[in-house]
Each structure stands twice: as structure tokens, then as C-alpha cells.
Structure 1
Amino acid sequence: MESSGNVILDTMPNLAHPLFSAPVDVIDAEMVRGFLDLELEESFTVDYKRGFDSAAETVAAMANTYSGLILIGVDARQSDKNLPGPLVGVKAIDKDRLVSKMATTFDPPGWTPDVTPVTVDDKLLLVVRIDPDTVPRPLFHQGAVRIRLDGRNATADRRLVEVMFQQADAVSPQTYFSDPRFAPDNHAAPHNREAYRTTPPDLVIRAAASRPLRRNSARLRLHGTTVDALIQALSAPSFTGGHVLPERLHLFARRVDAQQYQEPWAIDPEHGHAWLVRLAAGHQAPSTQDGPRVRLECTVSLANNGTSLDVFFDLLFWTQGQKIADDLWVQGCYEAVRALTHDALPTLTERLLGTSLTPAPPIELHIASGKREQPSLDDTLSTECLGQRTGTGGLRRGTDYLPDELVATGDLSQAVTEALRNIALDWRYLHPHLPLMHD
């Protein structure tokens, strides 16, 4: 299914191709050829150029929109100009010419994307990759702000330019901070679960992400077809013709309590409108049973006046006074990240942006109490695998971003491990021995 640094697309079709965000030093002819063999049409995030002359404008347009990938030295196909055709190659000096052109036509000056020369089938190609985390938006090109539409460039109007400047003033694109909207124990957040006020969960494991949307996204809606596609992506087909939890989530929930019965995904009756939908599923203990139980939730929001897509995947635990075993909560972190990255995000991106082959946005991982009055996790989590603690105080919420390069290559278990090591360090555990996560 996964191997170090490589993604087999025919078995994991929802993952972005590693060429979007793999480290520059691992981009090679095989990776580029594999991307070309997908025969992807030009789109918001993909473009092909015969030469470098018009590439600077497309770089600026992608930089101001969704970022993306440009392959230079690839001619258009005769039968369809939006598809890659024969490889024509470029000259070795064209890389320096392109970088120089961007440096003299971009404002603010000084920023250029990665430009990587790669020889494929004896033709020199330039792989231009625009990283959204480094772009000084709005980026002007020859005095205008370009934006990327579906397979073409356009000029932003005055209103959009003003919005870009406002966003640039509000947050630095070079730095990630934990988004307070994503914190499971933020009881002032609109995504807090009102249905559990009387019996809040003892533990919430949350994987969260936020992706910017195009400028007319205020008119986007979470239509029934979008929600239905999300339910199908998070489910497995049943022999009765319906949908049930996929086997891995089913088995995970059974580990919490083997006597629990399964509930398929359904819309939370308190959260089902065109801008915010929460799906709930999993194993709900019968009311007569006092043992542990677990609940799954996936919340989708068109936030910030429709300018961003926020997606949460939560595992909610009611422990009934028992501690959750090390291997169980660690595996739960992996399952939440996997469901978000493999299932929810690609499906929603495909429905709302028209393509799922876009770089994954930053993924946040949270471990928190669901109880306002008892924020400590000392009585909830077993921490034997974390070893000896060097500090004092209660065990509070843990939060970290997953390494982008590991998410991009599909190495989710290692990405979760790295995030959990950072969380353990915040909790004053210096040498954790985390259990293996099952792919």
C-alpha cells in the first residue's frame, strides 16, 4: 500500500501525487514520468508549458490562488490542448532565465518558487512548484495581481486585491500557529458539540485541516450530493446495499468495547445546513451498559464567510473512569489522521474545487479532554509508553502539526509519530517509545 517516499496511486487514488510536495532532492525522472502518465488536464493546480516565456504569469496566478505545479518542456496534445503531449524539452540556461524573469517582474521582489531541472526521456524539463507557505500574497506580476481559474489565468479585481492585503495583514503565510477554532476543548468555538453538554466525552482525538477556497466561494454550498459523497468516502459498502463503517474503523471501535453495536454515518440533526454539516457514526453503547464507548464525528464547515473549508475528524471517548491503553489512543491518532487525509479531504476538495490532486493543507493533531471542568488527561490516558516524565503539573491538551513532507509522500504513520513525539515533549516526556501504528 505504502512504501518509503512513494505512493501507489492505483491503490490509494485519493492521495495527492508526491511531485506536489516531495523534497526537491528526491524529485527524479521516475516521479515526473509517473505524474505525466496520469494524463491530468490543466487545472487550478496543474499547467504544462512548451517553453518558459509565459510561465512567470502562471506562477503568479497559482501563487495567489491554490499554488500548484508547472511542467515546462511539455507540449500540448494535438487532440486536446489541456492534456500533456510530446516532451520537447528546454535548454539548460532556461532555468536561470526563468528565475531572472520572475525576480524582475514579481512584486514584492525576492520571492521565486522551486525550479528543478529533471531529464525525462532524454529531454530536459523544468519542474516549477509553488509552495503556498512561502508566497508573499498578494503577488503582483508586471503591476497586476493574477489569479488561477480552472486551467487558465485571469486578473484579480480591486475587491479581491483588498481581501488579499487584509489576509496578509492578519497572518503571516510563513508561520503556522495552532488555530484556536480547531481546539477540541475550546468551548466558545461554534463547532463545540452542544448535544454532549450533559455528558461530555472524557477524551477527544481530533485531526483538523483548513483549505482556502476561491474568491467566489461565498456562493458555494454543501449540497446533498457533496454530503452523500463524503458519507460514501467514509464508509464501506454493506451486503444489504447500504453503508457501514470501514473494517479498520469497525475493528478499532470494537477494541474499545466488543459489545457495542455499529451505527452508520448520519447527519447530526443539530448540524445539517448549507455551511456546516456534522456527520456522526461509530459504536454507541446501549444505555444499560456502563463500559467505555467511542463515537466518530466528521465536521465540515465553509468558514470565514465562505473563504475556507474547515474539516475535523474526531474520535470521542467516554472512558467510565478507565484509562485508555497506550496502543489504543496512539492508534486512534493515526485513524483520525488517515480518515481525514485519505477520505474526507480528497472527496470534499474534488467536490468543491473540481480536483482532489492538490497538496494537502497543514494537518493539525489534537488530544484533549472534552470536559470544561476537568481539562487534565492524567486519569484518561495511559502514558507508560512515554517513559519517565521530567516535569510536573497536570497533563493538558496536546497539539502539533504533522510534517508536510511525510503527509505528501503518504507516510502517515511516521507523520503521526513525529507529531506525537513533539506532543510528548510538550508534556515533558523526553524519550517516548510509541507503539507501532497499523496501516
Structure 2
Amino acid sequence: MNNSLFAASAADLTIERIRALAARPDQVESLTLEFKREYSKSLLTTIAAMANTYGGMILVGINDRAEPGVDRVVGTDAQVTIDKVASGCREKFDPPWEPTFVPVPFDDDSGLSVVVIRVDANTVPRPLLIDLKAPIRLSGQNSTADRDRLLKLAREEPSAGVLPMGQHVMSPNLDRDREGNPAADFILRTGINLPMGEAGAWRPLSERTVAALAQTLNNSAFPAALQTLGHGSFSSSTGFQQHGYNRSRTARLVYRALSDSSVPHPVEAVVTVALPEVYGTSTTATATVAIDVISRVRRYADTFDKVGLPGEEYRYPVPNLLDLLEGILKTTVDPKVVAEIARITDIDAALVAQPRELHLVADRQVKELLRTEGLQEIPDAGASAGGVFRANPALDLRDTADCQEQVDDWIRQLGLDAGLTGMEALVESYRATTRSRT
């Protein structure tokens, strides 16, 4: 889900966050989100439709249409609403099934609440019928499954075809030279898994859509973030363009920083979009988008004195890594990038999930990779050459503060896993400095 409220704990569901969601000009009803002012019989149909599709969230107590100067969040009697919905689910659904209810009270004495109804398609006995029909969810509205769709639902194994909330990403490997030694300082990888729309499941990637994705990547925060790794010492790059393995169902877009040293590409970024093959795969196969960043700045610095201090072994400053990770996450939630990915896979943009996992693999111990100012090694703490970093599902990476919080958490974890203290103070100092500049 693109909306972090779906995965947030009950304690993190506040009326402030709900008001902020409802006030977003780009937040409209979609495959996975609907607003209801109050209980109605159509609410049960929407629950069943989401259950038979990708799941979703319904907020009761919010006007479905926004009017200038009018607060959309009107509230409802939580207990009465929950009782009606639960009763309707037991009486109307075949088999009987209930979603999860989370009442979120107003911060006043009105007694009103917004009722958050979460429909987790992983837990539904599909197809879920109502009045002997199987509703499905289209973009912002409900429809009815035809015979083929109904048969697919009936043949599904439990949880088949539904993306887990955690987006698993395969761990990367460092490229190696002919002697078998690592050919880069480190590689970072994040990515997402995506459902496939009807057209996206059979049509090949078009040159136009791949070119449009490359353009949005070049216009995103990604290139500037990649430049921070080399302190701007390389001013030219190829930009994102097709390179390497590209086929009708796979697009590989590569950014390369350029230098005139023996390390011609100090920094590379590879965005790979892989659609499931038309033949030999199930109807529930998913697409993947993987983002890799390969850095050779340490090797570059050894041969070119524009980076670091002469005569000293180069190490990566922590602020550079903070900027890099923030740039990557900003790119993954950039509305234009999301729109292009959704277009390629023929799905609603709301189904383009936020990345929930990051991998780091280094050619040496992390404590030997980082600049040590402000950091202190913990005796006998052991070695770490990277790690897997999971995201907080309650954070919305589209929000600048949430994005920075996630990046800061990952960097703090990196320091602790590497057996270093002082990372927390280092991160706080950097954030204070950047705030003072703005």
C-alpha cells in the first residue's frame, strides 16, 4: 500500500494524521482507499471488493468530496458504525468475514471519531461473496467479477496474488575482478514488488514508456544524491539511459558518473524494471523494480587527488550517505516516477508501494568504510560488512520529516551494527546544520 496509515499501529493512528491525509490535494479515492461520510449498505460492497482485489482502507467519517474551505473530516459515532458494519459482514458475506476496525477519536469533547476499516487481502477467504456476487475494486469504484475473474479467485491458494506489506528485495552481490576480488567499495539495493494490471500482464515494454521513466529519473532527486558521493569532483555523467540487458519484459536504466582516471565510473546507479514473462508464469506473478547504487569512490580517490586529503586513505563521510539514502527514497515516492511505474505495469498509482527494505554489501568492514570523526569503536564489538535494513511501515516516505526519520534510523543502525558509538549525535548535528541553512 502506498498509504502508511494502512500499516500504522493503532497508537500511531491519530486524528492529525487523518486530517492531513484528507487535506492532501492529490489524495483521491482509488483502488485501495475510499472515504465514507457515514455507514451505508454500499460500504459492505466496498469491503468485499477490496477483499477480492488488493485490499485497502476505508475511512468512515470523511466526506468523499472535498469542498474549498470545508473540513472533510466530519466524524461519526464509532461504536454504532462498527456494530453496523460487523453485523452486516456476518449476515451478508459468504463466508462470514470481518475486516479490522480502528476508531480514531477527535481531539475535542464532541465524542466523534473517524473509523478506519482495514481490509487485508492476505487474510480473506476468497472469493468473498455478497448477495451471491463477487465484487472487485477498480480505480476508485466497485465492479463485479466476471466468470474468468471469479474462477481465478476460486483457484487461488491462500494469500496468492497479494503483495505482503513488507517488500522483500533480493540481496545484491558485489562485482568481482578476474582475480575474484571485489570491484567496488559497496553496493546499495532497494526496490518494490508490484501487482500487474490486465494489459501489463501481456504487453511488452514500449520504448516510449522506458524513455519516459528514464527522463523522470534524470529529473528527480536521484542524480544530485549520486553526485554527493564524489563531493562533486566528477561533473559529467551519462544520465539514466538503457544499458546492458534489455528485453521486451525487462528494462535496465543505468546512470554513470564519468572520470578520466583508471576508475572511469566512480558511481553507478542501475534501475531495473522486470515484468513477469507471459509464458510459464502464473496469473498472480508480480513485477519488480530494483534500484542499485554501486560506489567506487574510494578506489577513485586512490588514483585521483580531487577527493579526500592527499596521502590519506579515503573514507565516506556520514553526511554523504545520509544525502544519498534520502535522495533514493525521495525518488521512489516522486509522483512522476510513481506514475511512470504505474503506467508500465498498468495499475493504479496507489498500488506502487513504498520501499520497505534496504541492503548494503561492502568490500570491507563498515567501520573501515566510514570517516571516523565523531565516532568511536566499541572494543570487541565484532565485524559487519553491511546489513539488511527494514523500514518503519508507519512512516510515509512522501513526507519530508518521515523520510528523514527513516534515513536517520538506517544510518544509526548501520553505526551500531558496525560496533560504533556516536552515530546518533553525528546525525543530530548534521540535521541541525541543514535546518539552520534553510
- Equivalent pairs, count: 393
| 1:64 to 1:202, Cα distance in 2 relative to 1, 3 A | farther
Measured in 2, the distance between the counterparts of 1:248 and 1:172 equals 32
In structure 2, how many angstroms separate the alpha carbons of the residues matched to 1:126 and 1:221?
43
**Overall identity of the aligned pairs, in %:** 20
Residue 138 of structure 2 is matched in structure 1 by 149
The corresponding residue for 2:191 is: 208
8 Å contact from structure 1 (residues 221, 275) kept in 2: yes
Task: Give the match's secondary structure for 1:421.
Answer: helix
Give 1:399 deviation, angstroms: 0.8
Q: 2-side partners of 1:167 and 1:63: how far apart?
A: 13
Residues 3-152 of structure 1: matches in 2 within 5 Å? 26-28=13-15, 31-32=18-19, 35=22, 38=25, 42-49=29-36, 51-72=39-60, 93-103=80-90, 111-116=98-103, 126-130=114-118, 132=120, 135-136=123-124, 138=126, 140-142=128-130, 146-150=135-139, 151-152=141-142
One-letter code aligned to 2:205: L
Distance 2:413 2:222 in 1: 30
Q: In structure 2, do the counterparts of structure 1 residues 385 and 335 end up closer, same or farther at CA, with 3 Å as the change threshold? A: farther
How many angstroms does 1:368 deviate by?
0.8
Q: For each residue in 1:157-207, what CA deviation from the matched residue of structure 2 results, as whole angstroms up to 9, or x when unmatched?
A: 223432343738xx9957x4854xx211288xxxxx99xx99842211222
Match of 1:294 in 2: 267
Which deviates more, 90-99 or 408-417? 90-99
Shift in CA distance, 351/406, structure 1 to aligned 2, threshold 3 Å: same
What residue number does 1:418 align with? 409
AA aligned to 1:333 is: L
- 98-107 vs 308-317, which deviates more? 98-107
C-alpha offsets along residues 69-105 of structure 1, whole Å, 9 cap, x if unaligned?
Answer: 334467778xxxxxxxx99976651232113333565
- 1:324 aligned to 292, 316, 335, which one? 316
CA contact (8 A) 1:205 1:368 kept: yes
Instruction: Please tell me whether the aligned partners of residues 376 and 395 of structure 1 are also in contact (alpha carbons under 8 angstroms).
Output: yes
* CA root-mean-square deviation: 4.5
Tell me how far 1:266 sits from its aligned partner.
0.7
**1:432 aligns with one of 418, 423, 426:** 423
Aligned to 1:307: 285
Q: Deviations over 1:224-283 (max 9, x none)?
A: 3322332222123xxxxxxx987733642551x514422222111x23223211111141
Distance 1:391 1:216 in 2: 56
The separation in 2 between residues aligned to 1:38 and 1:72, in whole angstroms, is: 19
What is the TM-score with the length of structure 1 in the denominator? 0.70
Structure 2 runs not aligned, ≥5 long:
66-71, 303-313
* Cα distance, 1:133–1:423 mapped onto 2, change above 3 Å: farther
Contact in 2 for aligned 1:217/1:307 (Cα 8 Å): no
Aligned to 1:159: 152
Task: Provide the rounded CA distance (Å) in 2 between the counterparts of 1:20 and 1:186.
Answer: 35
Q: 1:53: Cα distance to partner?
A: 1.3
Alpha-carbon distance in structure 1 between the residues aligned to 2:9 and 2:57: 14
How far off is 1:31 after superposition? 4.1
Aligned residues of 1:91 and 1:124 also touching (Cα < 8 A): yes
CA distance in 2, matches of 1:43, 1:178: 24
Instruction: Return the alpha-carbon distance in structure 1 between the equivalents of residues 94 and 410 of structure 2.
Output: 36
Give 1:248's aligned amino acid: A
Cα distance in 1 between the residues matched to 2:183 and 2:345: 32
1:273 paired residue number:
247
Distance in 1 of aligned mates of 2:121 and 2:411 = 23
SS of the equivalent of 2:245 reads: strand
